[in-house]
Amino acid sequence: MKTMKLGTTSLKVPVIAVGCMRIASLSKPDAERLVQTALEEGANFFDHADIYGDGACEEVFADAVHMNADIREQLILQSKCGIREGMFDFSKTHILQAVEGSLKRLQTDYLDVLLLHRPDALVEPEEVAEAFDILEASGKVRHFGVSNQNPMQIQLLKKFVKQPLIANQLQLSITNATMISNGINVNMENDKAVNRDGSILDYCRLNDITIQPWSPFQYGFFEGVFLGNAKFPELNQKIDEIANRYHVSNSTVTIAWLLRHPAHMQPIIGTMNPERLKECCRASDMWLTRQEWYDIYCAAGNVLP
């Protein structure tokens, strides 16, 4: 597995992260096999959130990896907080409580990375800064970032937060690529030209913030996967053509499409199938040509101006 620097840190992480949102659905043997496969592939970066399985996913993971001090040093653990039932909450009290809960469930003394999960309309950045200072000083969180935030929301936090915001987890896939499309369609009078996210892709590149694409196989908002889906015949034909050319799976090509982008993204892979996880990890060693990348982009229904 190839590695990369996460944001502005010296932390070397695998270019592919393992998402644990559905790990609580697995039996203990299956969860152990998934985690062991990831570690064998060099994918030792595991992404969590306190709301995944209402906390159960963090517990199942810790049990599956047989957490202890030696194993913990082999892992890079990231969790997210800020989503509560019926609200978003970036208050100092909630952030501190959420981290304590994640640490207990993960059976660890620290998180490598903490992300703020969804923008809180009532955010008081001074409180976020206080919470981050306490967590950093106590050694409970080593690095910080955000999720699903636009440039101005990040800038507002940065006005008060002294720690670098090193990652931004955003929905991005071949079929959900508005952050790429609006850059291609600059100055055009079409729907693809609409800037819906404040040029977040360019902003993150300019500020050395690692984009972590979530749901890289999904279309819409959790409407389903596009691979093998009759709704996307041209896209699947093109992906399969390239997969056959390189003797890899369609999953490998899909992740390779994201890794080919020069923003140096770190996709979050949410599969609970160890064999499919292996296929995704193979993308680390695959390099699409510029033509292949654009062929896939256009096959998804995108038209170059």
Q: What is the C-alpha to C-alpha distance for residues 118 and 50, in angstroms, rounded to an integer?
A: 12
Q: What is the mean pLDDT of residues 186-212?
A: 95
For 253-293, the pLDDT digits (tens) are 999 999 999 999 999 999 999 999 999 999 999 999 999 99
Q: Partners of 147 in the beta sheet?
A: 169
pTM: 0.97
Residue 222 has pLDDT above 90, yes or no: no
End-to-end CA distance of the chain: 36
Residue 23 has pLDDT above 90, yes or no: yes
For 53-105, the pLDDT digits (tens) are 999 999 999 999 999 999 999 999 999 999 999 999 999 999 999 999 999 99
Which CATH number applies to 3-230+264-277? 3.20.20.100
Residue 221 has pLDDT above 90, yes or no: no
Q: What is the C-alpha to C-alpha distance for residues 83 and 261, in angstroms, rounded to an integer?
A: 30
Which stretch of DSSP H or E encloses residue 93?
A: helix 92-106
Q: What is the set of active-site residues?
A: 52
Q: What is the mean pLDDT of residues 111-136?
A: 98
For 143-152, the pLDDT digits (tens) are 999 999 999 9
For the chain, give the percent of residues with pLDDT over 90.
97
